[in-house]
Structure 1
Amino acid sequence: MNQVINFLEPLAAWFRSLGMPEPIVHWGHPFMMAIVVFVMGSFAGWAGWKARLTQDEEISAKSRQLHRQVAPLMFAFMAMGYTGGVLSLVMQKHPIAESPHFWTGGTVLLLLLVNGAIAFLGFSQESPNLRKFHAYLGSTALVAMIVHALLGLKLGLSI
């Protein structure tokens, strides 16, 4: 982890030199990521499950389309937010790997990456079991996001 900190320190020092207010440095990442997790995450999950469970083909197709549009954007924002969160810790001179929040963030990204790969590579085979696994893995990722958010709140209140 020291290599990551050493790599990010020049960028963190530059951001520190901008004189950003402490509440922005401290709570900016959690605020922005809460929007991604709770708005985009819940919408992606809702649209995915609606597409799966509805009997109306038109509604199912529309929900599937919405899920396909939101889920990749959510992953992109979460990956950027992960980087921003690590940078925020470096800016605050807080150890990175000591927090479970850091590890749950990586776990969430890994779950979403695997789930995206399943959808991208595996759905061409129209496997119902693969689709079911995708749905439950995505739901697991959403639960992990909530745990991650709670651990982040705990971390934010401790530093």
Structure 2
Amino acid sequence: MTEFANKLAETLQPIADQFKSLNVPESVTHWGHPFFMGIVIFAMGSFVAISGWRGRTATEPEIANKNKADHRKVAPLMTVFLATGYTGGLLSLVMQGEPLLESPHFITGSVVLTLLAINGAISLTGFGGNQPALRNVHAYLGSAIVVLLITHAFLGLKLGLSI
């Protein structure tokens, strides 16, 4: 994977150079990605998880429908922010001259985006015609993603402190 990582770094270098030309302080280059992704993970991630589960478990239809609607609104935005942040994390590493695609943080981020794509696809199919089993898979996979995101955040903190 080293050859691919090197090619990716070479591809991203011109973009990283553009950001470097803005004279962004080193602390922002180093900690900007974790700061903003932490907000996405902890604020949006918890909101998406809580509204999803409230939508499933609420006994009053009005409350259930509101939470389901909130979940449907925020979950795609969270996914877009995470995918954008993934790219930002790669650019941050290139700007700092660090290796790409090697850390456990990178691996968990890649797994998170893959699982989010799968979970989104399940939802976009209408849960396979509203099949309870697929609704359950969606709910529990989403919960597993949140746990993985928390692990990902701690691995990112460890990576940030090591470079």
Does TM, normalized by the shorter one, top 0.5?
yes
Matched position secondary structure for 2:34: helix
Q: 2:42 aligns with which of 10, 32, 38?
A: 38
Match for 1:149: what amino acid?
A
- How many residue pairs end up in the alignment? 159
Is the counterpart of residue 93 in structure 1 residue 120 in structure 2?
Answer: no
CA deviation profile, 1:105-158 (whole Å, cap 9, x unmatched) = 011011111000000014260101100000000001000100100000000000
1:134 matched to which residue of 2? Answer: 138
Match for 1:68: what amino acid?
R
In structure 1, runs of 5+ residues without a counterpart are none
% same residue: 56
- 1:9 and 1:112 mapped to 2: Cα distance? 28
- 1:11 and 1:74 mapped to 2: Cα distance? 24
CA deviation profile, 1:44-101 (whole Å, cap 9, x unmatched) = 0000000111111111011000000000000000000000000000000000122110
- 2:29 and 2:151 mapped to 1: Cα distance? 22
Q: 2:67 aligns with which of 63, 67, 74?
A: 63
Match for 2:16: what amino acid?
A
- TM-score using structure 2 length: 0.95
Is the counterpart of residue 83 in structure 1 residue 87 in structure 2?
Answer: yes
2:127 matched to which residue of 1? Answer: 123
Q: Where in structure 1 do 4 or more consecutive aligned residues deviate above 2 Å? A: none
- TM-score using structure 1 length: 0.98
> Are 1:122 and 1:130, in contact at CA under 8 Å, matched by a contact in 2?
no
> Are 1:51 and 1:63, in contact at CA under 8 Å, matched by a contact in 2?
yes
In structure 2, runs of 5+ residues without a counterpart are none
2:78 matched to which residue of 1? Answer: 74
Q: Could you say what the CA RMSD is over the residues aligned between the two structures, in angstroms?
A: 0.8
